[in-house]
Structure 1
């Protein structure tokens, strides 16, 4: 069997996505791999396909109980013998799974990093043929990553103790160059193929909104997507409780998830969301890592996350099936203050010395600054994210709010020169808020304390509101004309282009927002909406999928994704051969479910013909 045979038979696809084939070839040739691929780009296929072709067992190390369960469920539904070993199993279940593993009944075993050094697991691997170790969420090994897990540091010792070193693959969705270097060094990868497939998810529509009342905006956005599932992320447990209660009282099918709930309730709420018993999950960032639900159509951040790594990973949980999805961030200045508080109150790992802990906090504050810039930029949002991760991108994507919005360009050259003069004459020691207040002729305690009303630029931009001045300041920072220092209380300083602008009398064009919203979002050609008749068939197919899911006790998306059902509704196959030409329909699933879905399509066509 070839890799193409495995892809078609088990996964139901004819071609690999970008980067997948190169990674699979390297692993099959015995070469270590470090792969950075965005959420939804198909990382799991990169180790699952070679796992089915290599002679022995593949161990997938993951910190995520939910991911293990979901991926094993999907693998079993595709006809792949797989299992997981983690804290969700009882001791008896754990021993039974180990016995079956010893009997060679599994090709893929998911295991938590804490289990690697246990006596029972060590006894098993000493006598088993381990062909590959795949390290998922590999950024967890780096203290500079956004989710450091000390147990990951034990993986290299575990690999060294195996009777024969297997090929090692490291996979993550988001990693800066510093974190990638850490992964390679700490995992002791040997001359790895290092590949970054690109961070772009062109099926995601990106938007930052500054609503006057967040709840009103949130409710409107959820109601825009009737019958579709989504996630609403909040920064605190209190916000989760309040937002969930508000949505429920407004008639929205919603549930909640945060670390303060009893484990039984968290598990039940998670399953209600996975099994489509509720439409919306309101959660802290404790929810979602490893939730392999492919048909999430929107992710709304009620509060701004602390960094772009977290934001893009959380937003990327929308549209994992490749169909159009929306990622909306509801921003306010209070979000910045909340994030600063959370960073200052976070407890450093006991393994860190004080100086390293201080450096990590400074790094977190620097990341928060970049996150804030994202929320305020007038540039293409997709370009901003891709540039942050070191990837070049055009300045127009046609699929984010900033690109689609009806901006007007205004000349802010004179305003910029006034701002630069104010920053310079006040000693480059104040933040954006105070500089804006001085320029607008404001009166507050800080202005009086530092006698800033005596400055020549006091009231120089009194014709503008403080918000308009701060918009101009953010623009100047974005253009490297001004700089914001790192730290809890960042101050403005003149940037690398300040002198050129200060001594020029020419125009400086800035995009300013018009209040009207764009008429429509751009959708990719392949996501063009179904006709009314096809939409009716799609709903019939979804009902059949829900029925089969209930019978088998699995989430609906495990049977077929929404994208697969849409393609099925458009193509309307008449037999199993045609059905297997639909993306996501492998031979095992066609054998299990094909007759039921073909019957629905046939009945629909007969009814339509009458």
Structure 2
């Protein structure tokens, strides 16, 4: 089907044997060749196919147009195999062209204070300077670790001799450069080192214990991209915003209907450039989207993809009503050699064993590491009996809110309608307070306003 359905204006298919002057000129212009004698994969057909892909705004969108034009619900197994072998070449060319013309605007630019597209279009230049030579914290780490080929700022030429550091030294260097810590807590170094050595690693850590540090340090030492699977979109956006402030290029991706084509195309541009270090993804995007799985397979073939599952205890507790939690076994089924880091704040030894069985992880390659202490002296729990009368219950809530008037307060409800009803009740009774309601039906823009207020 792929050979015939998608046409250029002069009615040529995706792959053609005709080498007419129009085709040569078209291919050189679209793919930016300056010499018609240049051999691209030594194949005219490959050049022509890539030109069509580029001309149609990228691979993912072209494939969807093909499917709709062919009036089929899904591609055949053979078509899917062929698609999986194609690269993100058109995204890379387009992004590089925009960088050259000072018009590249990263998908996360809105999270960077005073971002200027003209001045800060290159990766390193977009982030806060951490060195006297004007480098960001990430590039500063790369230079100290002698990873000069990873520098985001390709115009910077390092000087001096390269350092040779062992794994422990690299971990400590990354922690210092990115987070500013001189020391790691007990268990942190062991967990990071275990995962970097290729073991599937479950880390049980207290709430607020710095889960992000584990996968960020591993990501910076690994080459390639780390895919973080998260249960909640709001949690993903919180972590993304925090990482951008640290100077770590990261993006999040959901269903096409939520983000739209243009936003997802920009995300894949940054991945194709090697610009993105961390990709946050929803369960459903990972487990149900075949195109996204094909993208992972391309990265897997180059040994440049790694997995992190945040809130891993949900594999056991949420699987009954969110089916995708049960489908995470596809990670080991499709990409068996990629180590998985599992992060949780609520996990017993038996839970850990059940999780590793559910994911199809081999026992000999599975490590479990618990935080040294779960005691939280700064947290207290008070239990109040709810009164049945709605008016009295509302007054009790208001008294509690006023008692903690200097704090930000979160009230959880069992249902979306419960959130809306409580908001309507409390808003006129607390005119001096800034109140907001958030649940799955609230859009991204409204959510950003709520959390920043």
User: Relative to 1, partners in 2 of residues 1:57 and 1:235: Cα closer, same or farther, differing over 3 Å?
Assistant: closer
Residue number among 218, 227, 232 corresponding to 2:411 in the alignment: 232
Alpha-carbon shift at residue 211 of structure 1 (Å)? 6.5
Residue among 222, 226, 251 paired with 1:58: 226
Partner of 1:136: 310
* Offset of residue 134 of structure 1: 0.8
Q: 1:165 to 1:173 in 2, by over 3 A?
A: same
Report the Cα offset of residue 108 of structure 1.
Answer: 1.5
Distance 1:158 1:102, change over 3 A: farther
Q: Please state whether the residue corresponding to 2:343 is helix, strand or coil.
A: strand
Which of 347, 353, 370 is equivalent to 1:181?
A: 353
- Structure 1 residues 109 and 268, CA gap change in structure 2 (3 angstroms): closer
Q: Is the Cα–Cα contact under 8 Å of residues 175 and 181 in structure 2 kept in the other structure? A: yes
* Partner Cα distance (2:377, 2:319) in 1: 24
Q: 1:105 aligns with which of 275, 281, 289?
A: 275
Q: Matches of 1:237 and 1:68 in 2, distance apart?
A: 20
The structure that has the greater radius of gyration is 1
1:344-385 CA-to-partner distances (Å, cap 9, x unmatched) read xxxxxxxxxxxxxxxxxxxxxxxxxxxxxxxxxxxxxxxxxx
CA distance in 2, matches of 1:148, 1:13: 40
TM-score by length of 2: 0.54
Per the TM alignment, residue 145 of structure 1 is displaced from its structure 2 partner at its CA by 5.0
The within-5 A match list for 1:466-545 is: none
Preserved contact between residue 137 and residue 172 of structure 1 (Cα < 8 Å): yes
Q: Cα gap change, 1:199/1:104 in structure 2, threshold over 3 Å: closer, same or farther?
A: same
Aligned twin of 1:90: 260
Within the alignment, does 1:217 sit opposite 2:388 as a pair?
no
Aligned to 1:47: 215
Partner of 2:6: none
Instruction: Judge conservation of contact 2:231–2:283 (CA < 8 Å) in 1.
Output: yes
For 1:154, the equivalent position in structure 2 comes to 327
CA distance in 2, matches of 1:41, 1:94: 32
2:382 aligns to what SS in structure 1?
A: strand
List gaps (5 residues or longer) in structure 1.
278-610
Q: Distance in 1 between matches of 2:172 and 2:187?
A: 14
Q: Which moved more, 1:111-120 or 1:79-88?
A: 111-120
Provide the rounded CA distance (Å) in 2 between the counterparts of 1:242 and 1:51: 43
What is the alpha-carbon distance in structure 1 between the residues aligned to residue 325 and residue 228 of structure 2? 12
Q: CA RMSD in A?
A: 2.6
Partner of 2:3: none
1:271 aligns with 2:448: yes
Measure, in 2, the Cα distance between the counterparts of 1:97 and 1:268: 18
Q: Contact (CA 8 Å) 2:332, 2:360: kept in 1 or not?
A: no
Q: 1:24 to 1:51 in 2, by over 3 A?
A: same
| Structure 2: runs of 5+ lacking an equivalent | 1-144, 146-169
Cα distance in 2 for residues equivalent to 1:237 and 1:119: 31
Q: Distance in 1 between matches of 2:439 and 2:224?
A: 39
1:206 matched residue in structure 2: 381
Instruction: Name the TM-score, length of structure 1 as normaliser.
Output: 0.41
Q: 1:149 to 1:199 in 2, by over 3 A?
A: farther
Does the C-alpha gap of structure 1 residues 240 and 61 become closer, same or farther in structure 2, counting only changes over 3 Å? closer
Deviation of 1:185 after TM superposition, in Å, equals: 0.5
Query: What SS does the corresponding residue of 1:209 show, helix, strand or coil?
Result: coil
Shift of 1:147: 7.1
Distance 1:102 1:23 in 2: 30
- 1:195: which partner in 2? 369
Q: Which has the higher strand share?
A: 1
The answer for the alignment partner of 2:171 in structure 1 is 3
**Residue number in structure 1 paired with 2:165:** none
Give the aligned partner of residue 114 of structure 1.
Answer: 284
